[in-house]
Chain A
Amino acid sequence: GQQLNQSPQSMFIQEGEDVSMNCTSSSIFNTWLWYKQDPGEGPVLLIALYKAGELTSNGRLTAQFGITRKDSFLNISASIPSDVGIYFCAGQYQGAQKLVFGQGTRLTINP
């Protein structure tokens, strides 16, 4: 089935550093979303993007919907320990009822 290529697969950073991760697809999506999963919990929606070129912020998080509609990125500024977890991108085709998820980026922060 359709796959999203999410990178990097894992990141090990120091507290206070900025983080960047991205997702690419061979297909065009109508919606891009970013979710975060804390250990032992279900994913939680961070940011939803609905328009090509859209740049949206949520606190220290910033995400962009690529102009080609085939990619998206997520930035986290000044990382803190509670940012630890797995970040998933997800895309939705126009009119579709289901999402396609990336493989996830596991973020580890050294204090």
Chain B
Amino acid sequence: DAGITQSPRYKITETGRQVTLMCHQTWSHSYMFWYRQDLGHGLRLIYYSAAADITDKGEVPDGYVVSRSKTENFPLTLESATRSQTSVYFCASSERNTGELFFGEGSRLTVL
């Protein structure tokens, strides 16, 4: 199916474990983004990418790693999960640098 998909949709893990959230888009959009959404903080940018092999930090990058070896994929890895990383994570893509983002359905992560 066309669009932007995230997996898993729900994940429970333990403190210290590595977790990878996947994001895949079928539009060949150049730009991809990872946001986290927490009560009281709205949407905060973690990392973004303007093209394959180009990534940059957002507002809250600490504790996260990204890669973009292919245009369509933009995985987000929590190298050693902490409770403060319990959140809903959204991936988004954009064809051009216009601010017009297409969001995935989100991945809800709980770190125990």
Interface, chain A (partner B; CB < 8 A): 1, 31, 33, 35, 40-45, 48, 88, 90, 92, 97-99, 101-104
Contact = CB atoms under 8 A, between A and B. Distances in A.
B101 interface: yes
Contacts of B40: 103
Interface stretch (B14-22, B69-77, B78-86, B91-99): B91-99
A45 B105 CA distance: 14
A94 to B, nearest CB: 10
Contacts, number: 52
Given A43-B43, A45-B102, A90-B99, 20 more contacts: A31-B98, A40-B105, A41-B106, A42-B92, A42-B103, A43-B90, A43-B103, A45-B101, A48-B99, A88-B42, A88-B43, A92-B99, A97-B48, A98-B33, A98-B48, A99-B45, A99-B99, A99-B101, A101-B43, A103-B42
A25 to B, nearest CB: 14
A31 B99 contact: yes
Interface in B33-91: 33, 40-45, 48, 50, 56, 58-59, 90
B100 interface: yes
Interface centre among A31, A98, A104 (most CB of B within 10 A): A98
B42 A104 contact: yes
Interface of B: 31, 33, 40-45, 48, 50, 56, 58-59, 90, 92, 97-106
B13 to A, nearest CB: 21
A36 to B, nearest CB: 11
Contacts of B106: 40-42
B42 A102 contact: yes
A48 B90 contact: no
Contacts of A99: 45, 99, 101
6 contacts: A42-B104, A45-B102, A98-B45, A98-B48, A98-B58, A103-B40
